[in-house]
Structure 1
Amino acid sequence: MSEHAPIPSSELVASIVTAFNHGDMARVLALGEPVAERPDTDDLVLLLLGFARQSAGRFDDSANLFRRLTEHQPAIPEYWNNLGIVARQAGDLATAEHALATAASLAPGQAETLYNLGLLYAQQQRWLLARETQLRAVELAPAFIEARLQAAHACHYCGDQRGAEVTLEGAADWPPQPADQALILASMLSSQGDQDAAFRALEQAVLPRGPDREMLELRMAALRASMYERNNQLEPAQAELSHLPLSLLDTLPAEQRELHHSTLQVHASIAARLGQLDQAAAHYTRLLDAAGESNVLANAAFGLAATRNKQGRREETWQALQQAHAWQVEFAKDFVPELLAAGSQPLDMVNHRVGRLEFDRWAPLKAPSAQQSPVFVVGFPRSGTTLLEQMLDAHPDFRSMDERAFVFELTKRMQLAGQSYPADLATLTQGNTAQLRDIYAGMVQRVAPDLGERRLIDKNPLNMLCLPMIARLYPEARIILCLRHPCDVLLSCFMQPFRSPPFMVLCSSLQRLAEGYVQAFEQWFHHVEVFAPRVLEWRYESVVDRFDDHVARLGQFLDVADAAPMTRFAEHARAKGFISTPSYAQVTEGIHRKAVNRWHAYREHFEPVLPILRPMLERLGYEA
């Protein structure tokens, strides 16, 4: 630049301000650039010129100006915040983190700075920090939609589904969002079962003009296809795929890796659903070869394993499963590193027990009748709980709410109130139990507002570990324990891409799974002896062999006059659409024996863990 550029005058500053206020960034640049390097340039000129450079995509040049402002006025948090934003856009993440952390320390009550810091942590794949930071921003500014959305996204990524639900409460009524945010919102709403709101978020998305528009439209098509498949609507899913031909993948720019992955994933999922197993395997293999984040690779490997299993290619199935679990452990170590240590306990609730003497100290309290209580469907995951849930939900007297951890949430509420679970169940008063039931009812109301007079079905397999809480709040409740051959259960768990990091670790080897299974049932049987709850054992193999007999028995247990509607569960599940568990496709197929004794094909892998399982096999009446 010229050494003779004029000293910035008040008239020049006013002209730059006017141009900026009119959105004329070209004029801001034209007026400001000639004086930008002068040491005596007004800070306001540097600030507005920095914004203009940012608007023009000159992020490094913009960062230089904001850096000068932090040197001139190091106590102004806004300058640090601006530097952090453009440094992140420029890819200088170290500078961005320092700048945003400085801004947050100077203004700890400023939600926007925390929001920007949270975005940076997410970009760095530091999801626990992203979650914590965005939740702090939401706490400071509950109406800050962008922070709530990003907080929910981070919670979901960390396996904190309850946190995601809380931060997205009321999101169905949010105004239309920019397309990139609408994609996150729709994905979150879909994972929570609110499909109408998810599709509406995409329909209302505000698309930009210019070259980014086409890529965003393609990403929305990929998400819609995935959502349709997840809702057992294969024809609309295939229609969306027409916008995403495989030939598209060769034309995508390198920065569209997420679109590349999502397109391959949905092509593979739908091919598998249509029985096109060779095509599905090819898509999953191509996805694995494309590399990517550990969770993406894990999901692809699980998909490949399921496909190879259907093809009867056992060795390749097991190889894919080993890969999948290695990537899941890689993913989980960032969230639960303590669980990777030898002797750690992923199922921490198994350590919570109430003995006979403790139970004897429980004061008798008034409680709801069986008809006023939820019906609890429990059992180790992959034991047939989703099948039973859909059977019950098909009956007009019942209403399920999909899988929710509300009972577990009540144990956390006790701890937040300074009470120890389960020890302090003994000291709860009538008012305390009524308050906990009200909290539970409030959570249910948000996800099942149409419950009305119907009886609630609370299906969560691992509620089997929360029997003390159920016994305290709903001692008259009917509980159905789903059973299936333990080896079939373990194989099914081993083949599933669970989202919970602790459960990822639990399922990382058959030995850990077998130990967890035995520990869960040891705790269950201990509590059954203590509380003597009203329990019906629902054994999968027997139900498959004598379905009508067991449906009648189920109706009698639940005091239902006509259990016939339960037999039409497959039709009901197809009409229902979204089912959150991995069984969402299987339960639409009706009763069959395909899931019985699947583990025999992999018996050599089970031989080392049979000694761990044998005592429980005998107790449950199964043979090895």
Structure 2
Amino acid sequence: MLLVAQPNRGASTFVEIRGAEDAQDRRALPSQAPDGGYGLAPLGRIVAHGANAQDALCGCGSGLRACRCCELDPTFAASPEVRERIDILANRAARALASGDPVAAEAGSLEALDIAPRFPDALWILYQIRRRAGHEQAALALLQRLVAVAPNNVDATQELALLLFQRGDLASAEHHARNAVRLAPAHPRSHNLMGMILTEAQRPHIGEFHYRRVLEIAGARDPILLANLAWNLKCQGRIAEAREFYNESAEAAPDVFQTLFGWGQLEEADGNFAAAKAKLDRAAEICPDDPGLRVARATLHAREGKFAAALAEFEPGPGGDENGRSARARSDSNELLEKGRILDRMGRYDEAFACFDEAKRLAREITGKRYLDQEARETADRLRQFFVSDRLRLMPLASVREGAAQPIFIMGFPRSGTTLAEQALSGHPRISAGDELPFINEFSDTLPRLFGSPLAYPEALAELWMGDNRRGPDALRDAYLQKAELRGVIKQGDTYFTDKMPLNEMHIGLISLIFPRSPLIHILRHPLDVVLSAYSHHLTHGYFCAFALETIAQHYVLVMDLVHHYRAQMALRYLPIRYEDMVEDMSGSVRRMLDFAGESFDQRCVNFQDNQRVPHTPSYAQVKQNLYDRSRFRYRHYRRHLEPVIPILKPVMDRLGYSLN
């Protein structure tokens, strides 16, 4: 069974398509659990159900007692004498499930797991029952236990990766999807999961490889998979290729909602509004109340300047609940953010901010995410303590690899104007757009292993003082450039390519060791405008700081203080550029950036709106328009709503020369 996902801007709809499964890629379940037994309780230890606290059912909803489920003692083990009994129960449950009797299947699996809480076959049966019934928490708990006790079970590993992906836990989902590929490298579902997860995690270049592997392995061009690959290519800005795949997919299956929905979003991003409307209208005939579709249609209307029509997409439909709201009116956080941005364009600022507030509240409630303030502070403190001038003078620096295009690091807090700067610079014939390259962040995770250090980053950089690691910066430089080449961001004849990964400025110290001569262009914007704009979008960069107004401000100050430290301790090739200056004088700002990089001026950089690439950021629509100034000092419309963060931001505002007026 091959499971594929369709794009929905942060959420995915899943469609199953049949495919051959390679039995040779499946490894048998281990005959025993890692502790040498199945974790089986002796029959004499089973307590009859009653009022005893030990008999309370688990809160996850599995139907098991808590002491046999989420509160299971990790040392719990038992004699293998009960194996025959649990085999009988599990086989009986499996037959019942196969014959369409979930009640009997549930009873048998519960009885087996009360005796042997880690028995793989019974866990798999109960997982399927809970998943089909929509009990996601119970399904996840059971599946995690199954994968822990049977790590070579490909089906369970794939299912766990999918379940975590659907819950938005991309890091954990990727961990298990990678293991699925290790276990079954010729199984299409393993690669398909990697394609879905990596595309959603904004690493579509790698996701493309896995989608194309599915096409090779399956030997058929399934229309859903073609549409998924089209969305992946759209995320890379390869619009023409993506359109071809959407066309092929739609010819094979013309009435698939997800295909039409994704295709409509592609045309909207490319500015083909009539084509986008046709695709989204057709999708609406199939699934009129899809929340992602409402957001897409509203976005399209707003880009056409039809703000009333855009706002109407979020109005209640006929009928309603006890509060007079229909199902169509129950907005999610993405809808509320888009609605708020539309109200902002209409000058209805108080209503807009109310939408942003409610969207963030819902996002916190649904995802459980909060700003990881302690982790952020500890990381910043360790970077500040390590990267000091006395230590850095002893560090070896990477040399420049001759004949290779070099990175221009466009730095700046999310929503500060980095996309505008990249769109302008990439208009130059010798500068390619790399977009958000995750390589520096990846190095911060892999450095200890690479240098054989018992220390974490940044302290692991002390290994560069060892004779066998003196060429470490050169190795990191080559690894970075190789990753960029594999992504296809470098064209023949390029001198530079851009890297505008948000918050790369946290790692200026590391970057300066690897690319000491690369330009660091730091885009600055009024801090209140930055905080307001970040609050009006769904962002996960920066330790989840964007889930609340105050935490955005706190993280902004933390990052800017760290940049101030780097500049005081290091000799940097650093150029600050103000967003407000770009809006006021784009030609002058472009000249400054190109002169700083050592490139000649090119008028195409000033006419950034003619650049055919489509950035994969929330600013993709803005940089396709002529320059406007409505976002400059936008905070003035929201001054009273921003009062709580002004004291937090004031020291940085003063240091940067921004005032309140």
TM-score (normalizing by structure 1): 0.76
Alignment partners' CA distance in 2, 1:326 and 1:446: 40
1:621 aligns with 657
Map 1:312-323 to 2 at 5 A. Answer: 312-323=347-358
Distance 1:558 1:313, change over 3 A: same
Distance 1:68 1:227, change over 3 A: same
2:559 aligns with 520
Alignment partners' CA distance in 2, 1:408 and 1:614: 29
Distance 1:407 1:370, change over 3 A: farther
Cα-to-partner distance string for 1:474-512 (whole Å, 9 max, x where unaligned): 111111111122211221111112244x55x41233322
1:383 aligns with 416
Q: Is the 8 A contact 2:94 2:105 kept in 1?
A: no
Cα-to-partner distance string for 1:126-155 (whole Å, 9 max, x where unaligned): 766545433332232233332333345456
Q: Is the 8 A contact 1:379 1:481 kept in 2?
A: yes
Q: Gaps spanning 5+ residues in structure 1: where?
A: 1-41, 250-258
Distance 1:367 1:450, change over 3 A: closer
1:222 aligns with 261
Q: Quote how far apart the aligned CAs of 1:350 are.
A: 6.6
1:60 aligns with 102
Alignment partners' CA distance in 1, 2:235 and 2:615: 9
Alignment partners' CA distance in 2, 1:142 and 1:192: 25
1:611 aligns with 647
1:148 aligned onto 2:191 = yes
User: Aligned residue pairs: how many?
Assistant: 551
1:89 aligned onto 2:122 = no
Q: Quote how far apart the aligned CAs of 1:395 are.
A: 0.7
Distance 1:122 1:487, change over 3 A: closer
- Compare 181-190 and 613-622 and name the one that shifted more: 181-190
Q: Quote how far apart the aligned CAs of 1:467 are.
A: 0.6
Alignment partners' CA distance in 2, 1:549 and 1:105: 59
2:36 aligns with none
Q: CA RMSD in A?
A: 4.0
Distance 1:226 1:365, change over 3 A: closer
Alignment partners' CA distance in 1, 2:408 and 2:160: 44
Equivalent of 1:491, from 513, 528, 532? 532
Equivalent of 2:491, from 435, 443, 451? 451
Alignment partners' CA distance in 2, 1:615 and 1:230: 39
Equivalent of 2:181, from 134, 138, 145? 138
Amino acid at match of 1:304: K
Distance 1:196 1:61, change over 3 A: farther
Q: Gaps spanning 5+ residues in structure 2: where?
A: 1-87
> Which secondary structure state, in structure 2, belongs to the residue aligned with residue 88 of structure 1?
helix
Equivalent of 2:622, from 559, 566, 586? 586
Map 1:237-252 to 2 at 5 A. Answer: 237-245=276-284, 249=288
Alignment partners' CA distance in 2, 1:167 and 1:161: 9
Distance 1:63 1:272, change over 3 A: farther
Q: Quote how far apart the aligned CAs of 1:219 are.
A: 2.6
1:481 aligns with 522
Q: Quote how far apart the aligned CAs of 1:432 are.
A: 1.8
Equivalent of 2:376, from 329, 332, 345? 345
Amino acid at match of 1:550: S
1:269 aligns with 299
Equivalent of 1:309, from 326, 344, 354? 344
Q: Quote how far apart the aligned CAs of 1:242 are.
A: 3.3
Cα-to-partner distance string for 1:546-579 (whole Å, 9 max, x where unaligned): 333333333322222332221121111xx22x31
Which structure dedicates a bigger proportion of its chain to helix? 1
Q: Quote how far apart the aligned CAs of 1:588 are.
A: 1.1
Q: Is the 8 A contact 2:383 2:458 kept in 1?
A: yes
Q: Quote how far apart the aligned CAs of 1:52 are.
A: 7.0
1:569 aligns with 608
- Compare 269-278 and 74-83 and name the one that shifted more: 74-83
1:114 aligns with 157
TM-score (normalizing by structure 2): 0.72
Alignment partners' CA distance in 2, 1:102 and 1:470: 41
> Which secondary structure state, in structure 2, belongs to the residue aligned with residue 226 of structure 1?
helix
Alignment partners' CA distance in 2, 1:473 and 1:451: 22
1:555 aligned onto 2:594 = yes
Q: Among the aligned pairs, what percent are the same residue? A: 24
Q: Is the 8 A contact 2:197 2:207 kept in 1?
A: no
Cα-to-partner distance string for 1:73-118 (whole Å, 9 max, x where unaligned): x999668646644663355768866875676466421212321344
Q: Is the 8 A contact 2:337 2:359 kept in 1?
A: yes
Cα-to-partner distance string for 1:59-84 (whole Å, 9 max, x where unaligned): 7389579969989xx99966864664
Alignment partners' CA distance in 2, 1:433 and 1:129: 30
Alignment partners' CA distance in 1, 2:366 and 2:596: 43
Alignment partners' CA distance in 1, 2:620 and 2:381: 28
Alignment partners' CA distance in 2, 1:64 and 1:122: 26
Alignment partners' CA distance in 2, 1:182 and 1:480: 38
Distance 1:97 1:351, change over 3 A: closer
Cα-to-partner distance string for 1:330-363 (whole Å, 9 max, x where unaligned): 24425xx6x467x563894575220112212213
Distance 1:598 1:346, change over 3 A: farther
- Compare 182-191 and 453-462 and name the one that shifted more: 182-191
